Structure 1
Amino acid sequence: MTKAVRGPNKEAGQRAPPVKDAPSKPFRLRDVFKTLGPGLITGAADDDPSGIGTYSQTGAQLGYAASWTMVLTFPLMAAIQEISARVGRVTGNGIAGNVCRHYPASLLNGIVSLLFIANTINVAADLGAMADAFKLLFGGPAFAYVLLFGVTSVVAQIFLDYARYVAVLKWLTLSLFAYVGALAVAHVSWGEALAGLLIPRVEFSASFLTTVVAILGTTISPYLFFWQASQEAEDQRVDSGKRPLIDRHHGAQKEFNRIRADTIVGMAFSSLIAIAIILTAAATFHAAGKTDIETSAQAAEALRPIAGRFAEVIFALGIVGTGLLAIPVLAGSAAYAVGEGRRWPVGLARKPKEAAAFYAVLALSAAIGILLNFTPVEPIQALYWSAVINGVLAVPVMVLLMAMVHRRDVMGRFVVTGTLYWLGWLATAVMAVGVAAMAIAWLL
């Protein structure tokens, strides 16, 4: 009888050595940062230069009294962004890609057209604010900076490797910490600040209601829905090990947990920075009786005599950094919406020749945004109308989104239900009330 051959540690009567656990990796913030993606970038892009202008104006005009609105909007924006992200991850298509497959073309064309117009105007306003901030710091002609920032953004989106490009966007989110620095040098009345954050105070005045609507329009914007959904779909296309969850169910809960964590971190980051800007403006401009702040660059300049040169510099640098983050998101979300609606090959991971039409729309949005800065159109007026279009557009887009994520022919077994679903409808209702209040204010 042939004797069985044993391994070196399998001799009769000899036990195999115990298997040691793999050494645990030490906690590193860099590793956590790597796991964050579309949610972080989307949240940071929400605090674009025009948003900074809105928050600065809020603090200057109303002091600490309106900062509670950011506490209110946080769960609403987190819910609607998580729902948007789920659409992309489950279906493998962005919002426009799903609308074109399940709804009439006329509805898609109307939404995409308004989105393109609003985003392009916002690109123009952000470029103007960045140029003004850079001129404030270094002098020189503002028009040259508009060209520099606009062209740099487009070239980076078209020609940078996708993984490298996303990494650049993620690192640009750190520029928002400039506003934590600005807050640190402001003399904040923390008792009043905490009261403003925790105790809602409502004034039934046109200026207060208009400001609240502006905050809602700045924090809950359609371009953010389209961007995060499309980026989830893009990440799935780039990773050969992933498939749309509607096709491959395995690991769905893990993906939903990742999306939730990513979105909550991104929206919390966005809200905290917005609060820092409002408190800084309240502690400086409002306390000094200066309530006529209209732009982010004007806010940076006005900080110098009140809070010193350091506060002015970091505030201005923050405008440039957030603009470099926001412009790709604005132009990119417009390109994704148009491209997906037309069923073109889309995606920043594709080579230019593979998605020529997609990149052409992206470049067109940025080019028009650049050109608008050389027209007699006032940036403030342009930004105002952009906010109006975004506010009006948000309501039907959110209604459509909420209806879509409850359809089994769209989401399969992953239809959105429960608390997340009702938070999404609550966010939609709040936006609808805001638009209605704005319309009533106009009529009166």
Structure 2
Amino acid sequence: MTRFLLKIKNSLKKLGPGFITGIADDDPSGVMTYLIVGAKTGLSLLWTALFTIPMMISIQEMCARIGLSSKKGLAGNIKSHLSAKILIPIALTMLAVNILNIAANLSGMVASVSLLLPLPKLVWGVFFSAFILLSLIFFSYQSLVNLLRFLALTVLAYVGSALLSGLSVGELLSHTFLPRFSFDRENLMAIVAILGTTISPYLFFWQASEEVEERSQMESHHKRFYLTRRYMGSMRQDVALGMVTSNLVMFFIIASSAATLNRAGLTQLTTTDQAALALAPLAGPLSALLFTLGIIGTGLLAIPVLAGSSAYILAEVYSQKEGLNKSYRQARFFYLTIIFAVISGLLLSLLPINPLDLLFYTALVYGLLSPLLILVILYLANNKAVLAEKTNGWMSNLTGILTFILMGLAAVSLIFSGLK
């Protein structure tokens, strides 16, 4: 048994940027979005958990390959191979939306922990923000991951909850492999929100920049480091594992929410204690505790990714030193951007806005923004000046173009449905 646990521990240590990105994808915004969708639509959108897997893997693998091959993040490549006129609006939009998402995640964390220990929003908000900033400045993001990864894995409780909720295997398989949806505004909003929180723009920038750091560390340990076929294969496996894990969690969150909340007639979630009921089949009276641990764990992992993503973008816009592997003194601008993003998110989270609404509509904004960035990624991934001989193959292009078309159609349909 001890040897088995040691193997698991060693395997977790080897997990790279792709897996961490996958964990960060199931942030409080994602968890709440999936709970809201399950409560509103039942099992009818469960198929999105399966159908978005190849889309996620394709886009994140392109981002990873761009970072590894060029030794630059996405923003740096846009600056070098497109135009500052394109980069600056993207950078400012990403900063604004990431701050909104930080606020949404903080709001969700504060509302969740208040179920157990009700204190003023400001107290909990400052506590979580200070913990994140001090951890990043004085330690490292990897240290935070090592500390919190098991806490974040409490979201796997939704697997148990779904399995104990009385859902039949036939129901799950039917709604997974046979897509069902209507084109009314509520369904379109749910689909765009799912796509936005699953295929999130901030993860594109994060993935590329983290791969740059990973390569930098490898080069510092090995005098002759090459992007061998084996290394690229390991990167792809890491990305695939992260995305599949992320979507398995998504699948069971929607399923447990549909089985508990939707079937009980609770289709409009307004409070976090209602959301916690999705864990009742597994945890019973402890569902609020388990729900809170999951939201806090994923939030503490995701907020540094959101703030770090903004910092990577702005550092590359202004040609500043960047990286969570650098100290505050080595990358002052980078860390000041992180501090600015987290504090701005904290202030925004204190506004009298329902945290569940904020979490859901943040995902919606990402869903509208993603198609434009996917188009940019496709351009870079097919540019030999960026990737040399490692440009996209036909399969990557096919999956990427289909992802762009599907996300674009969903976003445009939602916009037009609002104009009617």
TM-score tier by shorter-chain length is over 0.9
Tell me which moved more, 422-431 or 28-37.
Answer: 28-37
For residues 92 and 306 of structure 1, the distance between their equivalents in structure 2, rounded to whole angstroms, comes to: 46
Paired residues of 1:296 and 1:319 also in contact (CA < 8 A): no
For residues 167 and 197 of structure 1, the distance between their equivalents in structure 2, rounded to whole angstroms, comes to: 33
1:214 and 2:193 correspond: yes
Q: Which of 60, 63, 77 is 2:42 aligned to?
A: 63
- CA drift of 1:102 comes to 1.4
Superposed CA deviations along residues 264-295 of structure 1, whole A, max 9, x for unmatched, are 11011100101111111111011111101146
Report what 2:122 is aligned to: 143
Q: Which of 241, 244, 250 is 1:268 aligned to?
A: 244
For residues 166 and 215 of structure 1, the distance between their equivalents in structure 2, rounded to whole angstroms, comes to: 25
1:82 and 2:61 correspond: yes
Task: Give the TM-score of the pair, scaled to structure 2.
Answer: 0.92
- CA drift of 1:60 comes to 0.9
- CA drift of 1:140 comes to 2.7
Report what 1:117 is aligned to: 96
- CA drift of 1:29 comes to 2.5
Report what 2:234 is aligned to: 258
CA distance 1:227–1:351, change in 2 (3 Å): same
Report what 1:395 is aligned to: 371
* Secondary structure, aligned partner of 2:52: helix
Report what 1:292 is aligned to: 268
For residues 251 and 411 of structure 1, the distance between their equivalents in structure 2, rounded to whole angstroms, comes to: 12
For residues 26 and 116 of structure 1, the distance between their equivalents in structure 2, rounded to whole angstroms, comes to: 41
Paired residues of 1:181 and 1:314 also in contact (CA < 8 A): no
Report what 2:155 is aligned to: 176
* Secondary structure, aligned partner of 2:350: coil
Report what 2:346 is aligned to: 370
- CA drift of 1:369 comes to 0.6
For residues 348 and 422 of structure 1, the distance between their equivalents in structure 2, rounded to whole angstroms, comes to: 34
Paired residues of 1:50 and 1:296 also in contact (CA < 8 A): no
Q: Which of 117, 129, 133 is 2:112 aligned to?
A: 133
- CA drift of 1:305 comes to 10
Superposed CA deviations along residues 374-427 of structure 1, whole A, max 9, x for unmatched, are 224444554455334322321111101100111111111211222122211211
For residues 262 and 302 of structure 1, the distance between their equivalents in structure 2, rounded to whole angstroms, comes to: 30
1:229 and 2:208 correspond: yes
Paired residues of 1:56 and 1:296 also in contact (CA < 8 A): no
AA paired with 2:13? K
Q: Which of 160, 163, 167 is 2:139 aligned to?
A: 160
For residues 177 and 83 of structure 1, the distance between their equivalents in structure 2, rounded to whole angstroms, comes to: 28
Identity, in percent, stands at 36
Tell me which moved more, 194-203 or 120-129.
Answer: 194-203
For residues 33 and 355 of structure 2, the distance between their equivalents in structure 1, rounded to whole angstroms, comes to: 13
Superposed CA deviations along residues 332-359 of structure 1, whole A, max 9, x for unmatched, are 1111111112110000111101111110
CA distance 1:145–1:305, change in 2 (3 Å): farther
Superposed CA deviations along residues 158-210 of structure 1, whole A, max 9, x for unmatched, are 21146534534655542332322433443334332221112111223222222
Tell me which moved more, 183-192 or 37-46.
Answer: 183-192
Report what 1:239 is aligned to: 218
For residues 306 and 273 of structure 2, the distance between their equivalents in structure 1, rounded to whole angstroms, comes to: 20
Report what 1:38 is aligned to: 17
Paired residues of 2:108 and 2:356 also in contact (CA < 8 A): no
Report what 2:26 is aligned to: 47
- CA drift of 1:251 comes to 4.1
Paired residues of 1:48 and 1:326 also in contact (CA < 8 A): yes
RMSD: 2.4
AA paired with 2:27? D
AA paired with 2:40? Q
CA distance 1:64–1:377, change in 2 (3 Å): closer
Paired residues of 1:114 and 1:389 also in contact (CA < 8 A): no
For residues 143 and 56 of structure 1, the distance between their equivalents in structure 2, rounded to whole angstroms, comes to: 26
Superposed CA deviations along residues 10-47 of structure 1, whole A, max 9, x for unmatched, are xxxxxxxxxxxxxxx99922332222111111111111
AA paired with 2:404? T
Superposed CA deviations along residues 123-164 of structure 1, whole A, max 9, x for unmatched, are 001111111111112333333111111111111112114653
Paired residues of 1:58 and 1:278 also in contact (CA < 8 A): yes
- CA drift of 1:55 comes to 0.6
Paired residues of 1:47 and 1:270 also in contact (CA < 8 A): yes
Rg larger in 1 or in 2? 1
For residues 175 and 202 of structure 1, the distance between their equivalents in structure 2, rounded to whole angstroms, comes to: 30
1:357 and 2:333 correspond: yes
Tell me which moved more, 49-58 or 155-164.
Answer: 155-164
CA distance 1:295–1:378, change in 2 (3 Å): closer
For residues 25 and 261 of structure 2, the distance between their equivalents in structure 1, rounded to whole angstroms, comes to: 23
For residues 78 and 136 of structure 1, the distance between their equivalents in structure 2, rounded to whole angstroms, comes to: 36
Runs of 4+ with deviation above 6 angstroms = none
CA distance 1:438–1:243, change in 2 (3 Å): farther
* Structure 1 gap segments, 5+ residues each: 1-24
AA paired with 1:309? P
AA paired with 1:136? L
Superposed CA deviations along residues 313-338 of structure 1, whole A, max 9, x for unmatched, are 21221111111111111111111111
Report what 1:4 is aligned to: none
* Structure 2 gap segments, 5+ residues each: none
Report what 2:306 is aligned to: 330
